[in-house]
Amino acid sequence: MEIKEEMIALASKLKIYQDTYYKEGKSLVSDSEYDRLTDRLIALEKEFPEFAAPDSPTKRVGSDLTNDFPEVQHSIPVLSLDKAYSDESVLDFFSRSIEKKGGELSFAAEEKIDGISMVLYYEDGILVRAVTRGNGSVGNDVTPNIVTIPSIPLSLPESIDIAVRGEVYLPKKEFEKVNATLPDDQKAANPRNLAAGTVRRQKSQEAARIPLDMYCYEGFWGDEEETPKDHLHIMKKLSDLGFRINPDFAFFARTKEEAEAKLKEAGLEGDGYGFNDIKDYISRMTQKRPTLDHEIDGLVFKINELDVRQEFGYTEHHPRWAIAYKFESPQAETVLNSITIQVGRTGRITPVAEIAPTALGGSTIKRATLHNQEYIDSLELAIGDRVSITKRGDVIPAVEEVVEKNEMGNTTYRIPLTCPCCGAELVHKGVHLFCPNYDCPDQAKGRISFFSSRDQMDIESLGPKTVELLWNNKLLKRVEDIYTLDYSKATEMKIQGIGDKTVDALKKGVEESKNRPYTTVLSSLGIPEVGTKTAKILSDGGFDSFEKLRLAAEKGDVEPFLAIKGMGEETAKTLIEAFRDPNLLKTIDALTSLGLHVSEEMDKKEEEDKAQIFTGEVWCVTGSFENFNPRSKALKEIEIRGGRTVSSVTGKTTHLLAGKGGGSKRAEAEKLGVRIINEEEFMLLLGIQIGEKKEEEPKQGFLF
């Protein structure tokens, strides 16, 4: 057999196998035979590209070539939809349209799939391009990834030119399955984000492994003659051409009977409704929404008659012949002015939306996190776009969607591939980009601020602002430098923002922090996955010193870590990597020689060393304190000195430590003759010098 014939025969065989498997769920051959034939055809296509069919079934498998998604011009307007948030507005759209037309109209109603908008371009019946919406006139060519979706026809039974619009999405169940296999820092927030990431995977082989699907909802024929007369017939035709259309289709006419008759005439499945049924339909779909196998964020109502669509035309942003009913109303709308890039303490890159300040839920929002490139892609977000924002969980502002594309021609934003702080080339780890340079100033400052923050080493007066000042004046470069700070130089330099008071408070804060327990030091180092809880689990599980952690990491075996209840594989791997990193080891060595608690043994020794001055005493604590905040800190000071603490004043209570407020307990103590101690006296008892009042710095955190 000639090569060309063999290739044609292989292609048609594979196509039949694929179609039968996908459409009927039946395998006509064994997996190994199928793979053998595919490999053979791939090899032949590589050797004889001139004989490769443009709709070859090998495209479904994807390849390991790197995609670069060139920008291409759309030949149809790819606009978004005007929005409605109530059934009245939908009814209003119906009646306005009918009035404008001055005659009868009918409307199609479809689910608004929450996925990635896609246009499939066919020439002479062959799929030539799959393009994202982009800014509506220019999108990205993502063909190699899209052709891996089995339900998308690579060729049509008719040799026509047609552009088909639809939504690429990941079914909810598949999302759960795929997401469960991803490590924590790569998990997607929702099916749409995972679908967006897949559509832009660099290797189509990887995209092929994610079971994306597509529903098609509009067709634009190259030849006007061939264009069906209305939406019903467009949908029927698309279905006949082999496109997948959503069976949840509804049709509205003056009466239910009329609607049903039209559906029947077009040969289309679906539910007929009269105009009066809009409210019912919307509430029915709202109820159905959670039971669907895919995410929808609204319903789309479209005028059925194509000549009317043409007559009504388009605004700058949307067709005048359609409207989207949205399930949730936006909280606020604003403009995306720019995107800034933050470098976190672990080197993680976070794009941040800088939006025109807008009031939302009692505060003014100027910024919102955009998480990563995948998130930006899923929104197809460009500078200058009008966006809607909400407060997730009532706290964190989030950009929900693009309401109107910008008119400057800006396309989807791409995060630059170099670190904005140090210029290093960024690296991909899962869905995030990282700056690999340990000495990157933003990372180093972030590490120090994290180390000293309230929930970690809690170093008074060493917040992000002071860290920044000390860093800029070269007095602080690494975490361990905190303990060898040259205070006299700091005073000498007369740094604005670091006065004598700050220096005093710093000295005291740094000194006190030397006594923090081992697990606090461990969690303060900022090792990914190792927070307060994990540090405690590790310590209780036998890794009660840095030395033990280092030795275990040296061996590179995850087993001793996994033997501890509550330890996962990811954390174990991260720990091994961290405790082999010369940078971390250098810091640990320095902290060890500086006398910080690098083992639990040191914690115990310190407790024993504390004079047991409160033995036999029973203390109750009330009110609020300047130096013991939260109050549990005061309780701890009493307990480690042998005292017992109780929550109410009784005849057995020997002392009441009374801070500000706390009226009723004080009265009770007075009545019972219990000794009342104020904060100042208590500090004297503990032998702690009374310092200046704390100057609070804002809690460290990247946006809020």
List residues bridging with 341 in a β-sheet: 351
Q: How far is the CB of 74 from ligand IVH (least distance, A)?
A: 12
Mapped onto helix, strand or coil, the DSSP state of residue 370 is coil
Q: How far is the CB of 308 from ligand IVH (least distance, A)?
A: 14
Q: How far is the CB of 76 from ligand IVH (least distance, A)?
A: 9
d(CA 143, CA 140): 9
Q: How far is the CB of 142 from ligand IVH (least distance, A)?
A: 14
Q: 191, exposed or middle or buried, with CB in 10 Å at 0-12, 13-18, 19+?
A: buried
Q: How far is the CB of 126 from ligand IVH (least distance, A)?
A: 24
Name the packing angle between helices 3-19 and 31-47 (round to 10°). Answer: 140
d(CA 192, CA 116): 7
Q: How far is the CB of 146 from ligand IVH (least distance, A)?
A: 14
SS3 content of the chain, % helix, strand, coil (to 5): 40, 20, 40
Q: How far is the CB of 385 from ligand IVH (least distance, A)?
A: 13
Sequential DSSP letters for 129-156: EEEE-TTSSEEEB-HHHHTT-TTS-SB-
Catalytic residue among 112, 302, 445, 508: 112
C-beta of 217 vs 518, nearer to ligand IVH: 217
Which residue do the tokens 């702690």 mark? 688
Instruction: Give the pair of three-digit tokens for residue 639.
Output: 């307990």
Q: How far is the CB of 528 from ligand IVH (least distance, A)?
A: 36
Q: How far is the CB of 246 from ligand IVH (least distance, A)?
A: 7
Plot region of 451 (φ>0 → left; ψ -120 to 50 → alpha; else → beta): alpha
d(CA 99, CA 96): 5
C-beta of 44 vs 170, nearer to ligand IVH: 170
d(CA 277, CA 256): 9
C-beta of 323 vs 674, nearer to ligand IVH: 323
Plot region of 109 (φ>0 → left; ψ -120 to 50 → alpha; else → beta): beta
Which residue do the tokens 């919406």 mark? 133
d(CA 548, CA 522): 12
Q: How far is the CB of 338 from ligand IVH (least distance, A)?
A: 24
C-beta of 321 vs 561, nearer to ligand IVH: 321
**Which positions lie near ligand IVH, rule CB under 6 A?**
79-81, 110, 112-113, 117, 133, 165, 167, 217-218, 300, 319, 322, 324
d(CA 120, CA 219): 9
Residues 6 or more apart from 380 whose CB is under 8 A from it?
117, 132, 133, 134, 135, 402, 412
C-beta of 117 vs 524, nearer to ligand IVH: 117
Instruction: Residue 93: name the closest of 252, 311, 273 by CA.
Output: 252
Q: 554, exposed or middle or buried, with CB in 10 Å at 0-12, 13-18, 19+?
A: exposed
DSSP-assigned letter for residue 533: H
C-beta of 388 vs 502, nearer to ligand IVH: 388
Q: How far is the CB of 313 from ligand IVH (least distance, A)?
A: 11
The answer to whether 173 is a known catalytic residue is no
C-beta of 175 vs 301, nearer to ligand IVH: 301
Q: How far is the CB of 204 from ligand IVH (least distance, A)?
A: 22
By beta carbon distance, the residue nearest ligand IVH is: 117
d(CA 261, CA 272): 8
Instruction: Residue 284: name the closest of 245, 325, 322, 244 by CA.
Output: 325
- φ, ψ (nearest 5 deg) of residue 634: -70, -40
C-beta of 313 vs 630, nearer to ligand IVH: 313
C-beta of 163 vs 462, nearer to ligand IVH: 163
Instruction: Residue 637: name the closest of 688, 602, 692, 599 by CA.
Output: 688
Contact 450, 526 (CB under 8 A): yes
- φ, ψ (nearest 5 deg) of residue 476: -140, 125
C-beta of 235 vs 598, nearer to ligand IVH: 235
Residues 6 or more apart from 632 whose CB is under 8 A from it?
none
Query: Positive or negative CA dihedral for 152, 144, 418, 450?
Result: positive
d(CA 219, CA 225): 14
C-beta of 379 vs 444, nearer to ligand IVH: 379
List residues bridging with 545 in a β-sheet: 599
Sequential DSSP letters for 378-431: HHT--TT-EEEEEEETTTEEEEEEEEE--SS---S----SB-TTT-PBPEEETT
C-beta of 67 vs 135, nearer to ligand IVH: 135
DSSP-assigned letter for residue 22: I
Just list the catalytic residues. Answer: 112
